[in-house]
A = this chain, B = another copy of it.
Amino acid sequence: MIKRFAIYGILVAVAAISLQLIQYKLLIINHSIELYSGVLALIFTITGIYAGQRLTRKKEVVIEKLVYATPEPIMTSFPIEVDEQLREKLGISKREFEILELMSHGHSNQEIADKLFVSVSTVKTHTSNIFLKLDVKRRTAAVKKAQDLNLIA
Contacts and interface: CB of A to CB of B under 8 A. Distances in A.
B61 A51 contact: no
Given A45-B47, A48-B50, A139-B140, 14 more contacts: A16-B38, A16-B41, A23-B33, A23-B37, A48-B52, A49-B52, A49-B55, A50-B52, A51-B52, A60-B63, A68-B69, A70-B148, A71-B71, A106-B141
Interface of A: 12, 15-16, 19-20, 23, 27, 33-34, 37-38, 40-53, 55-71, 86, 89-90, 103-108, 136-145, 148-149
Contacts of A59: 57-58, 60
A7 to B, nearest CB: 15
How many identical chains are in the complex?
A: 2
A149 to B, nearest CB: 6
A66 B68 CA distance: 6
Nearest to A52: B52
A65 B67 contact: yes
A49 B55 CA distance: 9
A101 B49 CA distance: 40
Contact of A48 (B15, B51, B68): B51
8 contacts: A12-B45, A44-B48, A56-B58, A62-B65, A64-B67, A66-B86, A66-B89, A68-B68
